[in-house]
Structure 1
Amino acid sequence: MDDAAQDPSPPPARDAFVASVLEAIPDPVILVDPVLTVVLCNAAARRTWRFVAPGKPLSFALRAPALIRAAEAAVRGEGPISDEYDERVPVQRVFSFRASALPGEAREPGEPAALIAFHDLTEARRLEKMRVDFVANASHELRTPLASLLGFVETLEGPAKNDAVARERFLAIMRAQAQRMSRLIDDLLSLSRIEMSEHRHPDAPVDLAAVARQVVDTLRPLAEDKGVEIRIDSPGPVIVPGDRDELLRVADNLVENAIKYGQAGKLVEITVDSVEDGGRPHGRLSVRDHGPGIAPADLPRLTERFYRAETGDKSGTGLGLALVKHIATRHRGRLAVESRRGEGSTFRVTIPQSNP
């Protein structure tokens, strides 16, 4: 029997079979050669890391020392080796991985020598963090309004039991406190959901200009009640890949804040346009008020949870700008704030108009 008869599967057919097996695996999988050059990678790996490609060094796409060390050990025949690593940019993600040597004799560069299989732990870790944060934040922030409600209940059951005027006044305060607790819980849940899915980039086409117009129509009664004029400037549709409900939340928070905190200026200006940022086209939503402005010491802390600048309005939950920041991050965008005392404030959200 000759050598050809002993090899029923020539290399090209074998490689095609291996590639088809890898493509069927839902988690990222990468094959590397003895010098840690990528030989094959499946669609899940290419979606997760856009610089992973056959023929490129593994270290170019994944800058993770623990992973590289594990891969080096695997090609030497050690292992399998399991570990975890964190990614910080563009958003934080956590992966577990397992690097295993492939059976066979000493291999040449270009031939697969080790397999690295990954599993994304991001959602599980964020869900765990969401539960912990929700309990901590809710228990801390709800303590004051709950104590207030209990105090009014005790007063209505005791000294003010037969005082109709006090009863009406206390009930109005209790209703306002209960509504604030409801808004607080809604905002906490929204923030937790957004943080949990921050690593998943939304891709439905959304017109930022239409979003801004819808928010203006909704908030115009509030503006008229406070004597504020709203002007909107948008030359045409500005399409970005995103989640329409989340972008509505962004515009609603920014415009409502401008009306409430900048009402002394009696004018809110909204602009939606396209700009170049880093060599790529971005959609930009700008909201400017002409109020008293924000103190320089407050600017770096505006997006912190529950942080409230020194303003006359304390009705908010302190989570609005944190929501805006996290939604912008999920859309691979950013939030920028400019403000000077006595000259008003401008909040800008920029979002790439195409997926990376």
Structure 2
Amino acid sequence: MFDRLSSLIIALTLIAIAAILAALAPDQALALALLTLAGFAAAAILYLAVPAAPTEAHTAASAPSSSAPSLLRHPGFARWAGQEADPFIGTRGNVVTFANDAALELLGPHIAGADIRTAIRHPAAAEWLADAGKPGTPQEVSLVDFPRPGQRWTMRAAALPEDERIIILSDRSAIDAAERMRSDFVANASHELRTPLAAILGYVETLQDPDGDADPALRRRFLAIIEREARRMQQLVLDLLSISRIEADRFRRPTAPVDLAGVVGDTVAQLRETDDARAQDIVLTRPDDPMPILGDTAQLAQLAHNIITNAMKYGRAGTPIIVRLERTSGRVRLSISDEGDGIAPAHLPRLTERFYRADEARSRAVGGTGLGLAIVKHISERHQGQLDIASEVGRGSCVSVSFPPAQ
């Protein structure tokens, strides 16, 4: 059909033509008929050009919605939120209308359609949700011991139109654990340094006493204790610096080939040259050909030294310390075995923690810092090694590390 302007022009033209024909008509009846016919035709053209009144259904479909489109029901948002590792929950009012896979895994599938204040069962969450949007309400709330004791999550919300909002949950348990480890490390290091320092100061004060010169034998004994405690402090500081350097390098994989057999052989030779009688109990078994791996020579020597000296300290005197190098399952394996009192199974998972000691009194008696196996673990991880500690009470222990060979 024509638009309204074109229809009006056509109607007027038609009437004008009818008027001319009526003026030329021989009788009045014919003129009247022509004008009447032209009028009806013009009216019909104009009527057809006027748009029809919209029906109720059409109005509902075409009129703009009074409410903004929901982000929570947008397919793109659902795809994006489904890929997020953090739990995402969408609510309208207080009813859960959307939950991604992470939220369903954390809270359970029953939260769909539930009240958000019962879906997240935590007193702090219910109080925060009730006050959300009010002046002074914090941006996020901490959920301690949620969903299990010892864990901590945080919850924050983003407001949307039409009383909708997105609630985001974030796991902070690992961050808290790392902070506790840092605090424990500082406290343990301070304690380990304070103990020998207190002994040194105490004996120095005794020697400074005017009566301290009366007994030369006592003086020599005190000086020997001072030297021992000072060396203990020195070793602790060296171990702390060492573990700090190793952690700084943990993401840089070694790229230089190193003969592990040569490194272990040199370490054993150096130990045998010391005054420690246990060094003569070391029995080294290795192939004649080189055993190359990609590694850091100094760190691998430190790894071997720490494991072997542990066996020397905790193995029974006069029993062999077996140091074995072999190829097994496509890897290069270093193992050190001793015949000692062994370690109870409950202690094995924690032996590589900093300052952890299965036997506190004995460790201090033999002069351990509590960092030896922690250093071994970090060096092993940097070299893509697999550390294994096996022990049997009354029989002894075996510490082994296997490395991928250099290609």
Please give the TM-score of this superposition, normalised by the length of structure 2. Answer: 0.52
Q: Deviations over 1:73-95 (max 9, x none)?
A: xxxxxxxxxxxxxxxxxxxxxxx
Give the conservation status (yes or no) of the 8 Å contact 1:271–1:287. yes
Where in structure 2 are the equivalents of 1:53-132 lying within 5 Å?
A: 65=85
Matched, 1:273 2:323: no
SS in 1 for 2:269: helix
Matched, 1:157 2:208: yes
Of Structure 1 and Structure 2, the greater helix share is in: 2
Give the structure, 1 or 2, with the largest relative contact order (CA under 8 Å, sep 6 or more): 1
Taking the aligned partners of 1:234 and 1:203, their CA distance within structure 2 comes to 24
SS in 1 for 2:213: coil
Q: For this pair of structures, how many residues does the alignment match?
A: 237
Taking the aligned partners of 1:224 and 1:157, their CA distance within structure 2 comes to 32
Distance 1:134 1:190, change over 3 A: farther
Taking the aligned partners of 1:153 and 1:224, their CA distance within structure 2 comes to 28
Task: Compute the displacement of 1:265 (Å).
Answer: 5.5
Taking the aligned partners of 1:209 and 1:266, their CA distance within structure 2 comes to 23
Taking the aligned partners of 2:261 and 2:296, their CA distance within structure 1 comes to 14
Structure with the greater alpha carbon radius of gyration: 2
Who is 2:348 aligned against?
299
Taking the aligned partners of 2:353 and 2:293, their CA distance within structure 1 comes to 26
Task: Compute the displacement of 1:177 (Å).
Answer: 0.5
SS in 1 for 2:327: strand
Taking the aligned partners of 1:189 and 1:130, their CA distance within structure 2 comes to 17
Task: Compute the displacement of 1:286 (Å).
Answer: 0.5
Matched, 1:144 2:195: yes
Give the conservation status (yes or no) of the 8 Å contact 1:293–1:344. yes
Of the structure 1 ranges 218-227 and 159-168, higher mean CA displacement relative to structure 2 is found in 218-227
* Structure 1 residue identity aligned to 2:337: R
Task: Compute the displacement of 1:321 (Å).
Answer: 0.6
Identical-residue share of aligned pairs (%): 49
Task: Compute the displacement of 1:213 (Å).
Answer: 0.9
* Structure 2 residue identity aligned to 1:301: R
Taking the aligned partners of 1:151 and 1:339, their CA distance within structure 2 comes to 39
Task: Compute the displacement of 1:145 (Å).
Answer: 1.0
Taking the aligned partners of 2:206 and 2:246, their CA distance within structure 1 comes to 40
Taking the aligned partners of 2:227 and 2:326, their CA distance within structure 1 comes to 41
SS in 1 for 2:326: strand
Who is 2:223 aligned against?
171
* Structure 1 residue identity aligned to 2:212: K
SS in 2 for 1:263: coil
Task: Compute the displacement of 1:329 (Å).
Answer: 0.7
Who is 1:315 aligned against?
367
Distance 1:148 1:64, change over 3 A: farther
Taking the aligned partners of 1:130 and 1:299, their CA distance within structure 2 comes to 19
Matched, 1:254 2:307: yes
Q: Deviations over 1:88-110 (max 9, x none)?
A: xxxxxxxxxxxxxxxxxxxxxxx
Note the residue ranges of structure 1 that are not aligned, 5 or more in a row: 1-34, 36-62, 67-125
Task: Compute the displacement of 1:214 (Å).
Answer: 0.8
Taking the aligned partners of 2:210 and 2:344, their CA distance within structure 1 comes to 44
Task: Compute the displacement of 1:221 (Å).
Answer: 3.9
Who is 2:56 aligned against?
none
For residue 251 of structure 2, the aligned residue among 169, 193, 199 is 199
Of Structure 1 and Structure 2, the greater strand share is in: 1
Task: Compute the displacement of 1:181 (Å).
Answer: 0.3
Taking the aligned partners of 1:344 and 1:262, their CA distance within structure 2 comes to 7
Who is 2:271 aligned against?
219
Who is 1:79 aligned against?
none
Of the structure 1 ranges 227-236 and 326-335, higher mean CA displacement relative to structure 2 is found in 227-236
Where in structure 2 are the equivalents of 1:329-340 lying within 5 Å?
A: 329-340=381-392
* Structure 2 residue identity aligned to 1:186: L
SS in 2 for 1:274: strand
What's the RMSD between the two structures over aligned residues?
Answer: 3.4
Task: Compute the displacement of 1:129 (Å).
Answer: 12
Task: Compute the displacement of 1:140 (Å).
Answer: 2.5
Distance 1:196 1:154, change over 3 A: same
Distance 1:207 1:130, change over 3 A: farther
* Structure 1 residue identity aligned to 2:384: R
* Structure 2 residue identity aligned to 1:139: S
Taking the aligned partners of 1:319 and 1:157, their CA distance within structure 2 comes to 34
Who is 1:58 aligned against?
none
For residue 396 of structure 2, the aligned residue among 344, 347, 350 is 344
Taking the aligned partners of 2:254 and 2:84, their CA distance within structure 1 comes to 26
Task: Compute the displacement of 1:222 (Å).
Answer: 4.7
* Structure 2 residue identity aligned to 1:166: L
Task: Compute the displacement of 1:162 (Å).
Answer: 2.4
Give the conservation status (yes or no) of the 8 Å contact 1:223–1:229. no
Who is 1:17 aligned against?
none
Task: Compute the displacement of 1:283 (Å).
Answer: 1.4
Note the residue ranges of structure 2 that are not aligned, 5 or more in a row: 1-75, 77-82, 87-177
Give the conservation status (yes or no) of the 8 Å contact 2:278–2:318. no
Distance 1:228 1:261, change over 3 A: farther
Q: Deviations over 1:177-230 (max 9, x none)?
A: 011100000000000111111111112101111111111111124587238522
Distance 1:141 1:331, change over 3 A: same
Who is 1:285 aligned against?
334
